[in-house]
Amino acid sequence: MDILCLQETNAADPDIQDRLDIQLQAKTSIWTQYCGVVSLDPAIQLDNAYVSTNGRLIICTVSHVNHLFHSFRLMNIYAPSTPYARYDFYADLLQLPYFRPFLSNLSTQSFRFPPDAPKLIVGDFNYNFSHFPSSIVYNQLEDPDFVTHLHLHHPHPPDTTSIISEDPSATPILDTNDPSNMPPSTKAQWLWHAMLQQHYRECSHHLQADPPLPTFTGGGYRSTIDYMYSEDQNCSNVFMF
């Protein structure tokens, strides 16, 4: 195990970060209040980090001091559990310059992977993949308006503390017989998942219908909400946990 990608870290305090580095024997690390990326190998470096202002996203360049592998970008995310915040979170991700080529080639089978795009996207996505079949959005990809104006056009509920986190096992409201009726608030999340399905490959459990080890348990249900997506040709070499 060479790299750890962590969520729910509660590590905004530098003292906590130092303590975690000691406990994990980290060689290089990047911490926020929500996420962490840790190198356990002194030869593997984490550089050029981009951290979102909300602390839910870390993008860094992973390289080897002896150039044993090509450097690549790694993205670690911790999506919000409440629906409105999560939809806006994915809308923000889709605005990153890394993903613009993907959005313009969602219906393209032959596509050259952009060199600056993250090769690995891992983390707590806070949704169950089985409820977001990519086929729902494919019929809409030719519409240029579908991939724009992704943010909500109505205010979030004023008291977010009263919002109960969405059950990850619950299926979003959607008329699957007519994709054009997709609720605007969920469009960014569907589009995010369609992009991953088209241009990446899930490497941890390969999107099995019933994964042997669900990643979320609570309230009497179990679900899978954590994923590890890789550029397809690198999936067999993934060493992230």
Tokens 């790299």 -> residue: 3
Domain membership of residue 176 as a residue range: 79-155+167-230
Which residue, among 75, 101, 105, 110, has the nearest Cα to 89 in the 3D structure? 75
d(CA 19, CA 74): 24
Residue 105 pLDDT: 75
How many domains, the chain?
1
Q: Is residue 217 assigned to a domain?
A: yes
Q: Is residue 86 assigned to a domain?
A: yes
Q: Is residue 140 assigned to a domain?
A: yes
How close are the terminal C-alpha atoms of the chain, in Å? 8
Q: What is the full per-residue pLDDT of the chain (241 aa) written as tens digits?
A: 699 999 999 999 999 999 999 999 999 999 999 999 999 999 999 998 899 999 999 999 999 999 999 999 999 999 998 888 898 899 899 889 888 888 777 766 667 888 889 999 999 998 877 666 655 555 555 555 665 656 654 445 444 444 444 554 444 444 443 445 566 667 788 888 888 888 888 887 665 555 556 665 566 665 667 888 998 765 555 544 4
d(CA 156, CA 83): 10
d(CA 189, CA 86): 8
Q: Is residue 239 assigned to a domain?
A: no
Torsion, Cα 41 225 94 61, to 10 degrees, reads 0
Q: Is residue 121 assigned to a domain?
A: yes
Q: Is residue 50 assigned to a domain?
A: no
DSSP assigned state of 96: S
Q: Is residue 60 assigned to a domain?
A: no
Q: What is the DSSP string of 40-63?
A: -STTEEEEEEEE-TTS-EEEEEEE
φ, ψ for residue 223, nearest 5 deg: -155, 165
Q: Is residue 41 assigned to a domain?
A: no
Whole-model pTM over 0.85: no
- In 3-state terms, the chain is what percent helix, strand and coil (to 5)? 30, 25, 45
